[in-house]
Amino acid sequence: MRDYQQIINKYYPEDNELKRILMVHSRKVADKALEVAKKHPELHLDKAFLEEASMLHDLGIFRTNAPGIQCFGTEPYICHGSIGAEILRQEGWPRHALVCERHTGAGLTLKQIEEQHLPVPHRELMPVSMEEQVICYADKFFSKTRPEQEKTPEQAIQSLTKFGPEGVERFRNWLRRFG
């Protein structure tokens, strides 16, 4: 098995603020996902995959335009998941690519994408596997603007409201299931 760190280093070769933000955020998400796995052994989660996919879920941010987190690319930030998925498929990590493209908000339905005119692939981008759901859930507790600080469930819910009530309800269900 290849090491996810090799992929990160390939696309983030310099030790700079962007890489630090990515690594701190991703490590926090991985730790939260692994905490869910430990708390819920009945879910039979693949812990190695949880760690790898959590560490890679935001790989595509460097191509986006989000100066507040040191991203000086040209793509809209909402595209970072599909960008990361494209990279990971090229690298031969298709299962991890699904996490990238399905973690935005609490997942995006085709209806949401079309109604909100989102510049992402026009298909269902919902977390399907239990691991995808756990990583999406864990990700909502950590922003990249304050990567060290964990959000409360209420703050996580507030950040999801821009995607519509469906995502908020999905997150509330995850809170009940994983919290």
Whether the Cβ atoms of residue 163 and residue 171 lie closer than 8 Å to each other = no
Whether the Cβ atoms of residue 113 and residue 164 lie closer than 8 Å to each other = no
* DSSP-assigned beta bridge partners for residue 75: 64
pTM listed for this prediction: 0.96
Question: What gap in Å lies between CA 12 and CA 59, rounded to an integer?
Answer: 9
Q: What is the pLDDT along the chain (179 residues), one digit of tens a residue?
A: 469 999 999 999 999 999 999 999 999 999 999 999 999 999 999 999 999 999 999 999 999 999 999 999 999 999 999 999 999 999 999 999 999 999 999 999 999 999 999 999 999 999 999 999 999 999 999 999 999 999 999 999 999 998 889 999 999 999 999 98
Question: What gap in Å lies between CA 108 and CA 97, rounded to an integer?
Answer: 15
Complete domains list, the chain, with CATH:
4-174 (1.10.3210)
